[in-house]
Amino acid sequence: MIHDKRKFTRRLLAWYRKNGRRLPWRKTSDPYKIWISEVMLQQTQVATATDYYHRFVRRFPDVHTLAAASLDDVMKAWENLGYYSRARNLHRAARIIVDRFGGVLPEETEDLLQLPGVGPYISGAVSSIAFGKRVPVVDGNVQRVFTRIFHITDTVTQTATQKRLWLAARDMLPRSGAGDFNQALMELGAMICLPSKPLCPECPVRDMCEANRLSIQEALPVKPPGKSVPHHDVVACIIWKGDRFLITLRPPSGLLGGLWEFPGGKVNPRETLVSALQREIREELAIDIRNIRQLVSVRHAYTHFRITLHLFQSRYHGGKIILNGPDAFRWITADELDQFAFPAANRKAIKMLKENKKRGWI
């Protein structure tokens, strides 16, 4: 228990003012841009998010521009940033903000929570940073700071532990300046209170930290046991028809929703790669292909599983396309390829083909 919360706040903010990183979203008071940055940062490292943030707000400088854009344009701007539901939700939320809130991002937490993709963290961050509301935030960094300071040894993912952390975050809020306080807490976790080898001698509140006193910093937070990560073989095909090839659009919900891809799917047990490819093409598109040739194989890791993508090329042989799974299809030229947002594994395969100068696919 911290007996002098004012001292904690004073030290934390003094450290933050001196050491906080000069990040682009900290130089603006525009609620829209703060919202965009917080969505990007929710599951992305700062170094990666920064370039995307600059490009995204140049392309979509306000909520009206984002709402008026096509989903394809938004997904293309988000390409390779991952967790694509964030981009889909931003797009949907922008349209709700325009339709329901007159194009002005709402200030109140209750209104923010109505927007797609906005949960307690995003609403707390935007409310406190953009509008100065006295509301807490708890992200991974704050979790780590508070489990160590308060010596919380219960598994961090448990509902009761999460509730305790949010209550602690609310209790620690100063009477004013919640936005700076929240950002300072997150910055402390990002720069000092690291997951391993935390820089405790540099911490402004180290003498208030129970984990530091007990020398158990790296034992906290307590996480559940790790699960084994499954692996899947996946086949996909560049299907040529004259000088054009086929791409299909994934449904808007679910993994990689709203992205274009080369058609294909998972390999079932005891299937060969070619037989799996032929089955997937018939099931998803109801067409036949011939002259099948494998081009490259690439590996890619998602959060909860890994894949090896085996990319083939073939020729369209006949049949009328009937979609069973994809939302849409296009026949495009190689020159049009970069206009569409593709999953990272597809992009890796394309890059490998170009680097190895395997031009037979073009």
Q: Tokens 């780590």 correspond to what residue?
A: 144
Q: Residues near 158 by Cβ (< 8 Å), separated by ≥ 6?
A: none
Find, among 100, 140, 147, 108, the residue nearest to 124 by Cα: 108
In a 3-state reduction of DSSP, which class is residue 17?
A: helix
What span, in angstroms and rounded, lies between the C-alpha atoms of 195 and 117?
A: 27
Quickly tell me which residue has 């000069």 as its tokens.
Answer: 22
Inter-residue contact 41 to 186 (CB < 8 Å): no
CA 92 to chain centre: 16
DSSP 229: -
Count of other CB atoms within 10 angstroms of residue 128: 24
**Backbone dihedral region for residue 286 (phi beyond 0: left; psi -120 to 50: alpha; all else: beta):** left
Q: Could you tell me which of 248, 124, 114, 251 has the C-alpha nearest to residue 185?
A: 124
Q: Please, which residues bridge with residue 308 across strands?
A: 233, 299
- Contact between 317 and 289 (Cβ < 8 Å): yes
Enumerate the active-site residues: 38
Q: How far is it, in rounded angstroms, from Cα 340 to Cα 78? A: 11
Burial status of residue 253 (CB atoms within 10 A of its CB: 0-12, 13-18, 19 or more): exposed
The CB-side HSE value for 27 (13 A sphere, CA atoms) comes to 7
Can you tell me the distance from the alpha carbon of 126 to that of 147, in angstroms, rounded to the nearest whole number?
24
State whether the Cα torsion 81-136-214-18 is positive or negative: positive
Structure tokens at 300: 């890619």
311, β-bridge pairs: 236, 296
The sign of the CA dihedral 129, 134, 138, 143 is: positive
